[in-house]
Amino acid sequence: MRTPVRTSQRHAFTLIETALAVLIIGLGIVTIVSTQITFIRKNQWSTHTATGSLLASEIREMSRNFSRHDRFTGGLYTFTDGGTPTNAGWGCEVDTPTVWDLDDLDDLDGVVFGDATDLPEDFELNHRFAGPINAFREVINQTNWDGTITTVEVDGEVSQVSLRGWTQCVQVEKLDPYDYTIMVDNYEAGAGGADNRPMTGYPIRVTVIVLFQGEFDDEAREVSRVIWVVPPT
C-alpha cells in the first residue's frame, strides 16, 4: 500500500502584493524622471545666467571709454524753464540714430538691443536696435552646434539670424552726488541754480538688464542685471 506524498504548491502573487510592487516601482521611476528634469532645468538656467552676464558685460565693455555726455551738446546748451536757465542735452543727439551714433553714456538711456516687447517695468524705450550686440557693436549671431551660423532666406536674400530670444536693455540715471541711492532729474539747474554744479559733477548709474524669451515662453524674463556707477569728475 502506497503512502500518499504531500507535494507543496507554489502560489502566485496576490492582487495586493502585485499592486504594492507596481506602486514601489512606479514611485522609483517617477523619482528618477523628476530628478532628471530638475537637473536639466537647473543646468539650463545656469547656462542662461552665464549668457546673460556675458551679454551685460558686452555693453559695459562697449561703453568703457564713453564720455559721460556729448562734448558739444550734452548738457551744454540751455533753455529757459520758469525764468531759470536750465541745461539740456540728455540722450542721443540724433533723431534716428544708428548704433555708431551712441558715443556717450547718456546716449544709452532707454536703448534696447533685441526684439523683446515685454520690457522691464518703468523702462522708457527711446531707441531700439538689432541685437543682442557685443563690445564691438556687432550683432551676435545664432551659432549652431557645428560652428556654422544660422541663416534665413527672405525674398531670395539670405540673412544671418541673431542670437534667438535675447535682448539687452540699458538705463542711465543721474544720481544725487551726496546720496547715490537718490535719483535726480536728467537736467540740472544752470547759472543761478541752487547748486550750480557742473554737468560732470553728478554720478551716473548705468543698468543693463538682459531678457530671454524662449520659443515656448509667453513673455521675456529677466535673466541678468548688471549695475555700475560712474563717479563725478
Tens digits of residue pLDDT in 37-80: 877 777 777 888 899 999 999 999 999 989 888 776 655 555 66
Residue 103 in domain? yes
What is the grid cell recorded at 17? 502584493
d(CA 197, CA 137): 33
Residue 26 in domain? no
- At 154 the pLDDT is 77
Question: Which of the two residues, 22 and 215, has the higher pLDDT score?
Answer: 22
Range of the domain at 107: 41-230
Residue 13 in domain? no
pLDDT at 191 exceeding the cut of 60: no
Residue 8 in domain? no
Give residue 80's identity as a one-letter amino acid code: T
Global pTM?
A: 0.74
Residue 21 in domain? no
Q: Where are the beta strands (DSSP E) in the chain?
A: 78-81, 84-87, 111-113, 127-129, 151-154, 157-160, 166-176, 179-184, 204-212, 221-230
Tens of pLDDT along 100-130? 989 889 899 999 999 988 898 889 999 999 9
Look up cell 546716449; give the residue.
107
Question: Which of the two residues, 30 and 13, has the higher pLDDT score?
Answer: 30
Residue 30 in domain? no
| Nearest Cα residue to 170 out of 221, 121, 109 | 109
Residue 28 in domain? no
Residue 5 in domain? no
Bridge partners for 154 per DSSP: 157
Total structural domains within the chain: 1
Tell me if 114 sits within 8 A of 58, measured CB to CB.
Answer: no
Q: Where are the beta strands (DSSP E) in 8-113?
A: 78-81, 84-87, 111-113
